[in-house]
Amino acid sequence: MENPANAQALAEAARMFAVPCTFRDSRGLGEQLPSLSTVDTAALLGGPGPLVAVDNTPGAESVYRAGPLHVGASIVVGNERRGIRPDVLRGAAKTVQIPMPGRSVNTLNVATAAAVALYYLLDANGRRQARAPRPESHRPAILLAAPRDHVEAGSSLRSAAAFGWQTVTVDDREKVWFGTPRPVRNEARAAARSHRNPLRVVPAGDAWSPPHGSRVVVCAPDVDGPALHRTELTGTGTVLVIPDGDGWEPPSDAEFARVAVPGEPGRYRLLSGIVLAEAARQLGTRTSAALRPPRRGLSYGSMLGQTALPDTDLVQPWELTQY
């Protein structure tokens, strides 16, 4: 890895799951983070247990279907731009990927990917079954509630796009996303008009209330409720709320899903990544058209929700990969 902020986020992902974390440092990370624990390639490949590569390489097994890690196993994640080195990929016992149904962004932030992989490879027993047919008609709405840092908010939006959301609502009471001066971003955006499938980011407004008849599920580490992967997170009219900390007041009829981790609660991008991954897992992947029985007449796969277009922030896919 080459970005010290990502290295710190990765170390935090490991602490979330109470596992040690070490870096193969060929890019001078250690100079900026002197407390970094390092490993060389030989030690990485010659560890005591199997090495599982986490990367979305062709043919990699879905992390949702991979069995739990063996005792003594390690997982490895890769460089922000180049992924895992080919020799490390070849030396790994297997490679698992986090399926990315998004049309525009096809990778997660590296620390988010590690947290999602650890969530499924270490536990998440008793998972709900995936829905599979017509997943789009069951995709829940997402509310990012009061994110406290713009990088964490941006990284969460990147995950949402990668997991297939096209619209996300943000309660931006901490003023980290809308109206913040982002001159570089705006300049670059102007130069990239050709990019397709932007993410619509809709402000929740001061007095957000769930749409009439909706079911609100608040997903957080410290709530009283069933485990995230045992809670129904999908369905028309479902709104998944991902609060950053405990400053966000849920509606009185909200349900709660607990994001249980064995270690410390991690930063917002890690929490939102796990919630979005689990919702995407429960949605399942669209049945291939060839396998579906022919339909009569016209049909549609999902309903269009109305959004307050004038206020909507359109974020281009390439911008999201900066997070």
Ligand X SMILES: C[S@@+](CC[C@H](N)C(=O)[O-])C[C@H]1O[C@@H](n2cnc3c(N)ncnc32)[C@H](O)[C@@H]1O
Question: Which of 16, 29, 105, 110 is close enough to bind ligand X by CB under 6 A?
Answer: 110
Residue 80 touching ligand X (CB under 6 A): yes
Question: Which of 9, 100, 124, 274 is close enough to bind ligand X by CB under 6 A?
Answer: 100
Residue 2 touching ligand X (CB under 6 A): no
Cβ neighbours for 120, distance < 8 A, ≥ 6 positions apart: 63, 64, 66, 277
318 sits in which H/E element: helix 317-320
Residue 56 touching ligand X (CB under 6 A): yes
CB 88 within 8 A of CB 41: yes
Residue 101 touching ligand X (CB under 6 A): no
Q: Which residue is nearest to ligand X (CB)?
A: 78
Question: Which of 24, 78, 104, 229 is close enough to bind ligand X by CB under 6 A?
Answer: 78
Question: Which of 74, 107, 282, 316 is close enough to bind ligand X by CB under 6 A?
Answer: 107
Residue 113 touching ligand X (CB under 6 A): yes
CA distance between the termini of the chain: 14
Cβ nearer to ligand X, comparing 234 with 321: 321
CA 156 to chain centroid, in Å, comes to 6
Stretch that binds ligand X, among 77-85, 145-153, 214-222, 231-239 (CB under 6 A): 77-85
Stretch that binds ligand X, among 13-21, 94-102, 130-138, 224-232 (CB under 6 A): 94-102
**From CA 214, how far away is CA 225, in angstroms rounded?**
19
Residue 219 touching ligand X (CB under 6 A): no
Stretch that binds ligand X, among 29-37, 48-56, 138-146, 198-206 (CB under 6 A): 48-56
Residue 282 touching ligand X (CB under 6 A): no
Stretch that binds ligand X, among 82-90, 120-128, 131-139, 263-271 (CB under 6 A): 82-90
**From CA 231, how far away is CA 242, in angstroms rounded?**
14
Stretch that binds ligand X, among 96-104, 171-179, 255-263, 298-306 (CB under 6 A): 96-104
The 3-class SS string of 217-239 reads EEEECCCCCCEHHHCCCCCCCEE
CB atoms within 10 A of CB 104: 19
Residue 300, Cβ density class (10 Å: 0-12 exposed, 13-18 middle, ≥19 buried)? exposed
Residue 274 touching ligand X (CB under 6 A): no
**Number of Cα atoms under 13 Å in the Cβ half of residue 196:** 3
CB 23 within 8 A of CB 268: no
Cβ nearer to ligand X, comparing 13 with 146: 13
Question: Which of 7, 92, 108, 240 is close enough to bind ligand X by CB under 6 A?
Answer: 108
Residue 52 touching ligand X (CB under 6 A): no
Residue 232 touching ligand X (CB under 6 A): no
Residue 77 touching ligand X (CB under 6 A): yes
CB 266 within 8 A of CB 17: no
Residues paired with 61 in a beta bridge: 96
Stretch that binds ligand X, among 75-83, 219-227, 252-260, 307-315 (CB under 6 A): 75-83
Sign of CA dihedral 249, 313, 303, 136: negative
**From CA 63, how far away is CA 119, in angstroms rounded?**
10
Residues engaged in binding ligand X (CB under 6 A): 54-56, 77-78, 80, 82-84, 97-98, 100, 107-108, 110, 113
